[in-house]
Amino acid sequence: MAFRTLDELPMDLRGQRALVRADLNVPMVDGRVSDATRLSAAVATIATLADRGAVVLVLSHFGRPKGVDPALSLRPVVAALGEVLGRPVAFVADCAGAEAEAAVAAMAPGDVAVLENTRFHAGEEANDPALVAAMARLGTLYVNDAFSAAHRAHASTEGLAHVLPAYAGRTMQAELSALQRALGAPERPVAAVVGGAKVSSKLDVLRNLVGKVDHLIIGGGMANTFLAARGVDVGKSLCEHELGETAREILARADAAGCTVHLPYDVVVARAFRAQAPSEVVNIHEIPADAMVLDIGPDAVEALGDVLKTCTTLVWNGPLGAFEIEPFDRATVALARTAAALTEDGGLVSVAGGGDTVAALNHAGVAEAFTFVSTAGGAFLEWMEGKTLPGVEALRQAA
C-alpha cells in the first residue's frame, strides 16, 4: 500500500506546524491515566517531528461527549503524555478557532501541545468541511498516527488528509506494514485463529478470511455454533443455533476456496461458569446435556500446534476459550505459546489484534514475542473483514 511516511519529510522542519492525529483515548481512574500504552505509542511520531523543529499539535478524541463536556477534557492526559515523552507538553483549550490559533502562534519550534477533545465539535464526527478547514488553519502538514480510529471518517481522521500534505506516523506505518504482511501479501501457508463468544459479531471476518487463508481455526463460543451446525449436541453451551445455516454456508465457502476449517474434537466442559469449577475433557460427541463447553481440549490444541508448524503467517483475533477464568485459559495459553516460539525461531510471522486478544496474549506472557500486536479494536476487526478504512484510504489518496 502506497502512503507517505515521516521519512519523506525534511530533516529540518522549523517553520512547520504538524497536526498529529493520535489516540489519547486512554483509561482514567480518579482523574489519572491508568494505562499509558496508547500514549507511549504516540511518542515515536511526536518526538521525531519535535526533534526536527516542527511545532507539534496533537489531536485526539476522548470518550463520547455530546457537545462540550468538562468531564471529558483531554487536559488531564497532558501531564501523563509529558512523562512518557520526556519533555514539556502544553494544553490548548480548543482544536479550532481563534483561541487555538492564538495559542499555536505563540509556540516555538520543537514545542508540543495537546489540543482539546475533537469531539467537543459536532462537526468532528460529521466530517464537516468547515471544521476541517478551521483545524487545517492551525497546521501546515498532517500526520495520522491513529490506526485505532482509522475506521472512522471524521474530520481529524480523514478530512484533514485531503486539505494538508498528509503522512502516516510511526504507529500507523507499523500497523499498515504488519497488516500487509499478514493478509495483504502474506507468505503462505497462512493460518487465522478466530475466537470469541459469538459468530454473529464476526460473520464478515469469517466470510473474508475463508477466501484469504489456508487454515481457519475457530475457537471460543463461536466453535459451538459451528459444531452444532454439523449436528453435534453442545449441551448448555453458549451457541447461536439460529445461525446454523450461516455456519454451513461459511464452511461451504471455505471448502470451495481450499481453506481447511479446524474445529475442536475434544473440549473442556463444566456445569458452572466460575473459576476452578469442576471440569472434564470429553470428545465432542460425548458432551453432557447439562454441561457447557468452556475451552478446547488438549488433543485439539496439540493438533492445532502442528498446523501452525506448517504455516509461515498467522493472524489471530479472539481467545479459544473462557481465558479470563482458570482452568479455561489453557488452550489459549498453550497455542499462543506455540505461536510465540515459532515466531522467535524465525519460522512464523504472527500478527494479532483486538481487545480480548491483547489481554489473552498478555495473560499467556507472549505478546512481546509476536511479530506485531495491534491495540486497535474496531479498526483491526474491520480490516479483517476486508473493509476499506477511511483514514487509511485518505492517506493512500494523498500519496
Residue 4 annotated as binding?
no
> What was the pLDDT predicted at 197?
87
Angle in degrees, CA 308, 338, 221, rounded to 5: 75
- 124's CB contacts (< 8 A; 6+ apart) are 61, 118, 131, 154, 155, 156
Does 75 participate in catalysis according to the annotation?
Answer: no
- Which residue among the candidates 75, 87, 181, 198 is catalytic per the annotation? 198
Residue 357 annotated as binding?
yes
Residue 164 annotated as binding?
no
Residue 121 annotated as binding?
no
Does 378 participate in catalysis according to the annotation?
Answer: yes
Does 347 participate in catalysis according to the annotation?
Answer: no
- Which residue among the candidates 4, 17, 21, 38 is catalytic per the annotation? 38
- 48's CB contacts (< 8 A; 6+ apart) are 6, 170
Q: How far apart (Å, rounded) are the C-alpha atoms in residues 92 and 294?
A: 49
> What was the pLDDT predicted at 263?
97
> 19 — phi, psi (to 5°)?
-85, 110
- Which residue among the candidates 271, 378, 386, 396 is catalytic per the annotation? 378
Domains and CATH numbers, the chain: 6-174+390-398 (3.40.50.1260), 186-365 (3.40.50.1260)
Residue 119 annotated as binding?
yes
Q: How far apart (Å, rounded) are the C-alpha atoms in residues 288 and 27?
A: 41
Total residues belonging to the chain:
399
> What was the pLDDT predicted at 354?
81
> What was the pLDDT predicted at 1?
59
> What was the pLDDT predicted at 129?
98
Residue 53 annotated as binding?
no
Residue 94 annotated as binding?
no
CB 147 within 8 A of CB 171: yes
Residue 354 annotated as binding?
yes
Q: How far apart (Å, rounded) are the C-alpha atoms in residues 91 and 57?
A: 9
- Which residue among the candidates 97, 355, 377, 386 is catalytic per the annotation? 355
Does 15 participate in catalysis according to the annotation?
Answer: no
Residue 128 annotated as binding?
no
Residue 202 annotated as binding?
yes
- Each residue's pLDDT, cut to its tens digit, for the chain (399 residues) gives 589 999 999 999 999 999 999 999 999 998 899 989 899 999 999 999 999 999 999 999 999 999 999 999 999 999 999 999 999 999 999 999 999 999 999 999 999 999 999 999 999 999 999 999 999 999 999 999 999 999 999 999 999 999 999 999 999 999 999 999 898 889 999 999 999 888 888 999 999 999 999 999 999 999 999 999 999 999 999 999 999 999 999 999 999 999 999 999 999 999 999 988 999 999 999 999 999 999 999 999 999 999 999 999 999 999 999 999 999 999 999 999 999 999 999 999 999 998 789 889 999 999 999 999 998 888 988 999 989 999 999 999 998
- Cα maximum dimension of the chain: 72
